[in-house]
């Protein structure tokens, strides 16, 4: 016999007339190697098919299932119940719009982020299919990939003190995105152009330095270092601008 787990789950379906936000209790016997993916699906299939939550890859790769697990944002699929107390409290991620119960709308938030950061390689070159590829140092490729590993789960944003106070704060995911293009030699944007995007209170200077973003990142991205790197770079860019005037 496994432990009896008690789940306290946030419930609210905005599409249901008169529905009120509330916590609901479910009980489930723990089985070997149980994850929240297994547990939540069992609750939905065996106890309450109206329960709303998101899973996709269930392997910690896609970022769909981020939620607040006993007070801490994380990926539900890679959370093992044996690492949690027998009472497990689940909330949807804050900051993002609620879809229903544990599901939030990260899709729209991140698409807006792509627009704000112009999340693509800015180049004046055109592709020539007859030519050999442009060369790149393998270390540089690995450096880019290190920052490209973001899965847009939203944990960093929902754990961010500034983002929870100010809707217009871009958050660690956006700053990391900029850093990804700064290290990419194919992107021809200048420091001044990056400054236009993040050299303000909504961007790199708005961060209060609490750094929960890095603590909760399920991919272990170096968000703190990127923030420092960009602040220094943007600080220098600002000073250069002052002297030019």
- Residue among 20, 25, 33, 124 that touches another protein (CB under 8 A): 33
Question: Of the listed pieces 60-68, 87-95, 200-208, 209-217, which binds another protein according to CB under 8 A?
Answer: 60-68
For residues 68-87, which are near another protein according to CB under 8 A?
78, 80
Question: Of the listed pieces 132-140, 167-175, 193-201, 236-244, which binds another protein according to CB under 8 A?
Answer: 132-140
CB of 25 or CB of 130, closer to another protein: 130
Q: If you write DSSP's letter for every residue of 171-239 in order, what string do you get?
A: HHHHHHHHHHHHT-TT----HHHHHHHHSSTTTTTT--S--HHHHH-TT---HHHHHHHHHHHHHHHHH
Residues 6+ away with beta carbon under 8 Å from 239: none
- Residue among 5, 36, 95, 144 that touches another protein (CB under 8 A): 144
What φ, ψ does residue 94 adopt, rounded to 5°?
-75, 180
What is the pairing mode between strands 66-69 and 87-91? antiparallel
CB of 77 or CB of 227, closer to another protein: 77
Minimum gap (Å) between residue 61 Cβ and another protein? 5
- Sketch the per residue contact string, 2 through 21, with another protein: x for CB under 8 A, - otherwise: -----------xxxx-----
- Residue among 36, 39, 43, 64 that touches another protein (CB under 8 A): 64
What φ, ψ does residue 80 adopt, rounded to 5°?
-85, 135
Which helix (H) or strand (E) segment holds residue 62: the answer is none
Question: How far is residue 104's CA from residue 98's CA, in Å, rounded to a whole number?
Answer: 4
For residues 191-230, which are near another protein according to CB under 8 A?
none
What is the pairing mode between strands 66-69 and 22-29? unpaired
Minimum gap (Å) between residue 60 Cβ and another protein? 6
Q: Which of 174, 148, 177 is nearest to 163 (CA)?
A: 174
Question: Of the listed pieces 1-9, 137-145, 204-212, 234-242, which binds another protein according to CB under 8 A?
Answer: 137-145
Question: Of the listed pieces 112-120, 168-176, 193-201, 233-241, which binds another protein according to CB under 8 A?
Answer: 112-120
167 contacts another protein (rule: CB under 8 A) = no
Q: By the criterion CB under 8 A, which residues form the site for another protein?
A: 13-16, 32-33, 35, 44-45, 48-52, 54-64, 78, 80, 99-100, 103, 105-108, 110-111, 114-115, 118-121, 123, 125, 127, 129, 131-138, 140-142, 144-145, 148-149, 151-152, 184, 186-187
């Amino acid at each position: 016999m496994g432990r009896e787990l008690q789940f306290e789950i946030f419930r609210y379906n905005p599409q249901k007339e008169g529905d009120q936000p509330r916590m609901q209790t479910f009980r489930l016997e723990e089985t070997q190697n149980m994850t929240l993916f297994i547990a939540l699906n069992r609750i939905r299939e065996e106890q309450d098919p109206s329960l709303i939550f998101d899973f996709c890859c269930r392997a910690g790769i896609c970022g769909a299932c981020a939620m607040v697990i006993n007070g801490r944002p994380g990926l539900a699929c890679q959370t093992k119940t044996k690492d949690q107390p027998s009472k497990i409290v689940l909330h949807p991620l804050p900051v993002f719009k609620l879809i229903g119960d544990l599901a939030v709308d990260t899709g729209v938030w991140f698409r807006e982020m792509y627009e704000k950061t112009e999340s693509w390689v800015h180049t004046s070159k055109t592709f020539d299919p007859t030519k050999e590829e442009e060369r790149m140092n393998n270390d540089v490729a690995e450096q880019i990939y290190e920052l490209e590993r973001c899965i847009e789960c939203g944990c960093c944003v929902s754990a961010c003190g500034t983002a929870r106070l100010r809707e217009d704060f871009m958050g660690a995911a956006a700053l990391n995105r900029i850093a990804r293009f700064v290290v990419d030699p194919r992107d021809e944007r200048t420091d001044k152009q990056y400054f236009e995007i993040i050299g303000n209170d909504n961007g790199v200077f708005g961060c209060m330095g609490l750094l929960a973003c890095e603590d909760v990142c399920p991919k272990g991205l170096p968000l703190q270092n990127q923030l420092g790197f960009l602040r220094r770079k943007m600080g220098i860019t600002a000073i250069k601008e002052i002297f030019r005037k």
